[in-house]
Structure formats: C-alpha cells, structure tokens
C-alpha cells in the first residue's frame, strides 16, 4: 500500500508526460473531500491518503506518495442535477436559492450542477429552470475565502475571524476617534 501525504494543486507545472504515466485516483466529490481515505488506484494498487484536514481534491491535482510516486486525481462521474435556463436571471435566482440552502454547487458558464436531490429538483423546476439528471464529474465551488464553508465551531474560524477583525480595525482606526476632520488631511490613507 502506498502512503500519500502531499498534494500539488492544479495547475502544478509537472511535465504532462509524467502526469499521463501516473496512476489515477478516480473519486466522487464526497471522497475527494476526505483527508483520510483508503482507495484503489486505476492500476490496482492500494493507497492510503493522509492529507491535511480540510483538503478538497480537484480533478487535475497531483498527489505525491512517500516514495515520490505521482498519482493524478480525477473526478468520477456521479449522479448530478444539471440546471440550465433560457433566462439568465432565472439561473441566477436558482443559484441564490441553492446557496441559501448551503448546497455545494458547480457553477459553469451557462449551467449549475449539484448532487442529485429530488426535493431540490422540484424546487428548481418551480423557479423556472430546466433540470436534467446525469452521470457527470462534479466540481463544486470552493469557499469564497479560499477554504470550505466555515462555522463558528470550525478549527480555523477563530483565526479567520481574528484576521478579518484586524483588517477591519486597521482600515477604520482613524474614523471613530470622536471629532470631525477632513479625510484627506488627517486620515493617513486615500479614499
């Protein structure tokens, strides 16, 4: 069994010939979101993944085993809802309602894609969009700040919150000290 503990996110700059020769790890999105996983590569070799917590593998990423072996990640086809609309506003409205439900969504130029769910399919049809069930690779959006979705109990939330507060306080430190002044004269930064 090969042990894998490093990820080179795409685009990784490794020569295409080496990537083509590398064994493939073909997984659905749910398994690509696990930091600890046992899996079988396309060449039959068993692999154990020990990745940093919170790692989400994407199709095209390259894994590096302890012995230096490269393994290419590929997104497996899985049961998804392909959402399209003739009206771009209807598609945006559908994206809003899916986001409001914290549903992982892949956003394409003219489509949305999500894991198949009959209840969401019904909601989407009522919103005036077309849905098609299909077997396709699923690559949902990553979180807006680089990671996944954060809640107050997540390990990195305190760090993220502290960083956001520091930026906020740095920007606003001169604006709330109790007297009126012209921004250009005293503020220390341009507006």
Give the pair of three-digit tokens for residue 87: 């009206």
Tell whether pTM > 0.85. Answer: no
Polymer length in residues for the chain = 191
| CATH 2.60.260.20 is right for the domain spanning 2-75 | yes
- Please tell me if the domain spanning 2-75 has the same topology as the one spanning 77-137: no
Burial grade of 110 (CB within 10 A; 0-12, 13-18, 19 or more): exposed
CA neighbor of 76 nearest in space, from 36, 42, 38: 42
The per-residue pLDDT for 89 is 95
pLDDT of residue 142: 82
Return the CATH number of the domain spanning residue range 77-137.
Answer: 3.30.70.790
- pLDDT profile of the chain (191 residues), mean per 10: 94 92 96 94 96 93 95 96 96 95 94 96 96 96 55 41 47 45 44 43
Locate the domains of the chain by residue range: 2-75, 77-137, 157-186
């Amino acid at each position: 069994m090969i042990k894998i503990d490093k990820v080179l996110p795409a685009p990784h700059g490794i020569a295409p010939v080496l990537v083509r020769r590398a064994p493939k790890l073909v997984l659905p999105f749910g398994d690509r979101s696990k930091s600890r996983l046992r899996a079988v590569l396309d060449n039959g070799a068993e692999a154990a993944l020990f990745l940093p917590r919170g790692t989400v593998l994407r199709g095209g990423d390259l894994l590096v085993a302890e012995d230096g072996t490269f393994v290419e990640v590929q997104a497996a086809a899985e049961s998804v809802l392909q959402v399209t609309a003739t009206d771009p506003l209807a598609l945006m409205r559908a994206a809003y309602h899916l986001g409001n439900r914290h549903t992982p969504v892949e956003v394409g130029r003219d489509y949305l894609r999500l894991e198949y769910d009959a209840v969401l399919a019904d909601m989407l049809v009522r919103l005036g969009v077309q849905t098609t069930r299909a077997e396709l690779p699923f690559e949902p959006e990553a979180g807006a700040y680089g990671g996944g979705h954060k809640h107050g109990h997540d390990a990195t939330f305190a760090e993220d919150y502290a960083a956001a507060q520091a930026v906020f306080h740095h920007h606003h430190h001169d604006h709330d000290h109790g007297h009126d002044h012209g921004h250009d004269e005293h503020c220390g930064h341009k507006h």
